[in-house]
A and B are shown apart, each in its own frame.
Chain A
Amino acid sequence: MNIKSNEARCTSCHAGYGWKGNDFDFADQTKVDCLVCHEQTGTYKKFPAGGGNPAPKSMVFKGNGKTYHPPDWNKVAQSVGRPTRKNCGTCHFFGGGGDGVKHGDLDSSMMKPNKTLDVHMGVDGQNFDCVRCHSTSLHNIAGRVYTTPASEHRKSLIQDDLASKITCESCHSSIPHKEDAKANDHTDKVACQSCHIPAFARVNPTKMRWDWSTAGKKKDGKPYTEKGEFGKPKYDTKKGDFVWAKNVMPEYFWFNGSIEHLTVKDTIDPGNTVRINLPVGSGDDPNSRIFPFKVHRGKLPYDKVNKNLVIPHLFPKGKDDKAAYWKGFNWGKAIAYGMEYAGLQYSGEYDFVETEYVFPSTHMVAPKENVVACIECHSRSEGRLAKLSGFYMPSRDRFRVLDTIGWIVVLGSLAGVLLHGLVRVFIPKDRKRG
């Protein structure tokens, strides 16, 4: 899914403050909302479909039935300060349109977590704010992982206290464990997060699957939603089927800090699962580490003829916007509208394809008592790293031929000596020479 043609809704978080039409310049850095990050009254709220603006007058948002009031500008403006978890969390805990929809390691439980959920941010412990690690220099925020390989910045603050990117190593160094601890030998290949985040979504559930292909079903001719486990929606006429999960074990990939993204202009192979983004890295790359991810799976519409993903127009621009899927519930029209709006080719034929999207897990760092145990990876089968290839790991890996020959030799020796012994015992004594 894409922001294009749905800006009015998406820009309440995504860049586009003051969006009005397609000629909005998203690169213009003066169009950044200062208050959403800096105001401290907690009363500054954007109207969900206001193009990034707060409600100009008291208004009801039909999406959730809540009334949004215009902010008390004087109070809000005078409250500005260093961003708190609430400032950041307002968007980052609710990515994808709800609590825990996108990230497995960021949701509202991180607003006031305890130490067990996050050893750094726990209010009963270090009580870090987001900006403690996501430090800034002239509003450039440290910590984005997608375009810059982290390894280039994998150094401690003692080496370079102006490092633009704060990683675990920045404070803990690359030998963070007790002297001679085997764990120190792992930091060349295994990211800290892999052992120290045994599971994500440990308090609140996170969305693991989103199947858009089933959207559009109605009850008594009306759109409906159905709640499932954890009190979370499992079906929504607008959005399709969801699967939520708690305490999810991450999936692991080699990762150098960069993620490649598929765009609507890239050709896909609908016969296979389409990986919308892909962690970059490999076992041979000294800058790559084994890193934990939430893999969000789903089904998305694509162009059957041109073989690319499409941009459906979801959010209605007005009461009569029947092309919007959330009004007309017609994928064909919504896609045609969205693609034309984005200036892209659309053949007119669509279908749905299985997709995967990865989110790196780096928050919800557990206390050291709760880390992943050796055996969870170093095991013959069903270990956490069972699927990750390209390296030799003791206990998981073996050479089948060697093991077979080895045991034949050992058991053969045993059989040989037993046979020898039996013959010695059963040859009658009187046949023995004195």
Chain B
Amino acid sequence: MQKNKMVNIYLYSRYERFWHWFQSALIIILLLTGFELHGTFSLFGFRSAVDVHNFVGLSWLILFAFFIFWLFTTGEFRQYIPTTRKMLAVVRYYSYGIFRGETHPVPKRRELKHNPLQRLVYLSLAALLLPIQMATGFLYWGYNSWPTWGLEWLSLPVIAFIHMAGAFAILSFLVVHIYMITTGHTISVHTKAMITGWEEVEEGTQIEDWEQKERKAPQAAS
């Protein structure tokens, strides 16, 4: 069995990693408190769950603005522009090739962190699902101010419905996402990349010089 030599590339900047883990913590707390408020289970106690959910939700809203700022000032938003190129190859890989031990058809590079499927999923998430969730959450929170905001035509059940549907969608994403990070060439390689910033990829992938500098050879390289 022939195996390509593995090399490390610096994939995720410090801010990206911070934002990823911080946002995941916010989302998990919001899911836990949110489903408690929905009456699914009892964990923090209703009153604390309300306070935590409101505080974390509002914090997320503010921090998300920084993320948007970062996306556009760094040009990283380009990583989210959807494409159909190699889309079928990626779908074929996850539904067939992965079981045969094939290599990923779209290997990661610094300027290409997301494969076509990821682009589509993360664009839907960052541009649609999360903003909808934040907007409905904010309106839900501001329910008593609707008349002042000129929004008395809004309906609480409708807002609650959309917010709940969003919650299910995010929970479902979380389940699939947690599984997908195990699909690298080793189970932990993606997770490690999101912690250290360095991802192990097969040699031969186009890597720019600057990506490898100032970083000693990683221990885990085989």
Contacts and interface: CB of A to CB of B under 8 A. Distances in A.
A and B: interacting chains: yes
Interface of A: 182, 185, 188, 373-375, 378-380, 391-392, 394-399, 402-403, 405-407, 409-410, 412-414, 416-418, 420-421, 423-424, 427, 429, 431-434
A390 B211 CA distance: 61
Nearest to B155: A392
Given A416-B176, A421-B179, 6 more contacts: A394-B38, A398-B39, A399-B161, A410-B175, A433-B102, A434-B3
Interface of B: 1-3, 37-39, 42, 45-47, 50-51, 94, 98-102, 143-144, 156-157, 160-161, 164-165, 167-169, 171-172, 175-176, 179-180, 182-183
Contacts of A379: 39
11 contacts: A373-B47, A374-B47, A392-B160, A394-B37, A409-B169, A417-B175, A417-B180, A420-B94, A429-B101, A431-B100, A433-B100
A422 to B, nearest CB: 11
Contact of A410 (B1, B47, B99, B172): B172
Contacts of A432: 100-101
B168 A407 contact: yes
Contacts of B171: 406, 410
Contacts of A397: 157, 160
Contacts of B160: 392, 394, 397
A374 B46 contact: yes
Nearest to A186: B144
Given A402-B161, A402-B164, A434-B3, A396 B39 contact: yes
Contact of B176 (A398, A417, A429): A417
Contacts of B169: 409
Nearest to A415: B175
A223 to B, nearest CB: 53
A378 B47 CA distance: 10
A94 B117 CA distance: 76
B194 to A, nearest CB: 18
A208 B152 CA distance: 41
A402 B165 contact: yes
Nearest 4 pairs of A and B residues by beta carbon: A432-B101, A406-B168, A417-B179, A434-B1
